Amino acid sequence: MPIVVRIDVELAKRKMSVGEFAERVGLTPANVAVLKNGRAKAVRFSTLESMCRVLQCQPGDLLEWVPDGDE
């Protein structure tokens, strides 16, 4: 998948657990796992905004486009 989710990197930088992050963002830990593992099909801007607010980062810190081998 060409979009890579880097939530785990930002959580590690802040020594924040998935549970704490999920609670502060307003997601279930299971939904955070779906995002972290790249299985999400979409992310609402309101959720992305909450994640950025909690982590004090930019959307580009959480999401990265990586070209696949076909390009």
pTM of the prediction?
Answer: 0.88
End-to-end CA distance of the chain: 13
Count of domains for the chain? 1
What is the Rg, in whole angstroms, of the alpha carbon atoms belonging to the chain?
A: 12
The C-alpha angle with vertex 69 and arms to 40 and 6, in degrees rounded to 5, equals: 35
Which of 29, 27, 23, 32 lies closest to 62, judged by CA? 32
- The token pair at 62 is 């959480």
The string of pLDDT tens digits covering residues 2-47 is 899 999 999 999 999 999 999 999 999 999 999 999 899 999 999 9
Residue 35 belongs to some domain of the structure: yes
| Residue 59 identity | P
Tell me the mean pLDDT in the region 56-71: 88
* CATH code of the domain in which 30 resides: 1.10.260.40
| Residue range of the domain that includes 25 | 3-65
Residue 71 belongs to some domain of the structure: no
